[in-house]
Structure 1
Amino acid sequence: MIRNLHGLHRPLGSTGLQVSPLGLGTVKLGRDQGVKYPNCFTIPDDQQARQLLSLARQLGINLIDTAPAYGISEQRLGPLLRGQRQDWVIVTKVGEEFDNGLSHFDFSAAHTRHSVERSLKRLETDYIDLVMVHSNGDDLAILRDEAVYDTLAELKQAGLIRAFGFSGKTVEGGLLALERGDCAMVTYNLSEQQERPVLDYAALHAKGILIKKALASGHVCLESGVDPVRASFELIFGHPGVGSAIVGTINPVHLAHNVAMAAEVIVGTNSRHNGSGE
């Protein structure tokens, strides 16, 4: 059985980026306040974080997802990824800041530029592959009334970022974000599928899709006898619009299990689509 994602990378819409079907979310590398996971966790030290990143690479993961709102995640990833820039597709965000246990949002042109320049320094890179807008839930107002999207387009033109998009909370926001940008980050799992029209649009228009909360932030569960991870990945990777699903585990055993299950599901799905059976 295939146990890694090597050879299974796919294009992220028409961004030119080739991404692993699973990406590594790094909120747990930098923040343990105000997070919605069912179990408490301890932020890993540098050695543990380095081992996790090394395992992810060995398993064929090349997509790493971070954000300024993830505490000190970006600051830690810069040194941890030194000498490996060519091995990773780095995704970060703008719009949300997290200070003293509270989130606040700023979608202005000035803050967007400041945020991207700060992320470049923290991540020790001269370009970011993909920058997403971290929505506060008022998706349409952000896209229509704020300068953040136009500013990201300018930063893309300047070569500081390769692609940009929107991590929103509504179908309307996701659709508008894809019309004007390269990618949307969408909640899509066994219990939440309201944003499926955004995936459908992306598949038709060669836009990128990243899935957040793929395993419902660790809350996913089903009736006995059904593997919830398998069922989740069958749903997600059964949709042709999906580029990559972000998983935020810091447990190496869970990460290896998730990768093996995703690889098995994707290979099976590809076989069926190619008409060659299982």
Structure 2
Amino acid sequence: MTTTLHQLHRPLGSTGLMVSPLGLGTVKLGRDQGVKYPNGFSIPDDEQARQLLALARDLGINLIDTAPAYGVSEERLGPLLAGQRDEWVIVSKVGEEFENGQSRFDFSPEHTRFSVERSLKRLRTDRIELVLVHSDGNDLEILRDSGVYQTLAELKREGKILAFGLSGKTVEGGLLALEQGDCAMVTYNLNEQAERAVIDYAAAHGKGILVKKALASGHVCLEPGEDPLRRSFELLFGQPGIGSAIVGTINPRHLTDNVRTVAAVLTGS
């Protein structure tokens, strides 16, 4: 019997959302340039993408992470999720656009609203569970000066999004994002633990945490004989406050291995 995550869903802070401890990142469904992975890959076709999503669902994953900056990821997910929308918690972003191989950032209220409305259309849905600000690194400046958070709060009141937060790069940004919003996405793995204070704050204040680069984008280094997957997930899920780790694999075997390892870590088996 394959181990699954169906019984291991957990609350994402106080958003009211229940999420699987592992989420599926979909940058590789939409974009293959300007991405930092150790190995090249080709974007899966619709049938491969459909199979991947079906496998994720069978394994108990209900969290899917996308963004306008992930090329055609949102546009592809819309039709792929038809008829099963209520079974997924969708996370998308605002602020970063990726065009002609270049990233461009716009955190203005006008662009934020435009971006969310466009994501709703692309994803063929009437709401997005969580929208994160896709930071360019100037976390504090964005949160304080751009109006992006105020606009996301309005969209939440309108019911177009259910929660909002920041995918940032600094501890200060993460803390402010949680004070004024629902969730922060942080980098946390065996190589990088600088944002630990954000996770601790979330645990103490009932806020949501998603982890990006949980496996150091495949670059993790360990002692000989140690299982990098198991060590990575033991580190993550040893932290109270972490809701889910987003892993962007398009390899069915890797996905199954990840799920099996997370289930073993969380059940102590």
TM bin (shorter chain): over 0.9
Q: Letter of the 2:191 partner, please give it.
A: S
1:68-87 superposed Cα distances (whole Å, 9 cap, x missing partner): 00000000000000000110
Structure 2 counterpart of 1:210: 210
Deviation at 1:2, TM superposition (A): 6.5
Q: What is the SS of the residue equivalent to 1:210?
A: strand
Misfit runs of 4+, over 3 Å: none
CA distance in 2, matches of 1:32, 1:2: 31
CA distance in 2, matches of 1:32, 1:221: 25
Q: Letter of the 1:152 partner, please give it.
A: L
Structure 2 counterpart of 1:113: 113
Structure 2 counterpart of 1:199: 199
Q: Letter of the 2:69 partner, please give it.
A: A
Q: TM-score, normalization: structure 1?
A: 0.96
Deviation at 1:220, TM superposition (A): 1.4
Deviation at 1:136, TM superposition (A): 0.2
Structure 2 counterpart of 1:164: 164
Q: Letter of the 1:217 partner, please give it.
A: S
Structure 2 counterpart of 1:231: 231
CA distance in 2, matches of 1:3, 1:172: 38
Deviation at 1:251, TM superposition (A): 0.2
Q: Letter of the 2:53 partner, please give it.
A: L
Deviation at 1:3, TM superposition (A): 1.4
Structure 2 counterpart of 1:254: 254
CA RMSD of aligned residues (A): 0.8
Structure 1 counterpart of 2:149: 149
Structure 2 spans left out of the alignment, 5+ residues: none
Structure 1 spans left out of the alignment, 5+ residues: 269-277
CA distance in 2, matches of 1:245, 1:267: 16
Contact 1:2 1:264 in 2 (8 A): no
Q: What is the SS of the residue equivalent to 2:172?
A: helix
1:217-267 superposed Cα distances (whole Å, 9 cap, x missing partner): 111131211000000000000001100000000000000000000000011
Question: What percent identity do the matched residue pairs reach?
Answer: 77
CA distance in 2, matches of 1:229, 1:54: 23
CA distance in 1, matches of 2:2, 2:245: 18
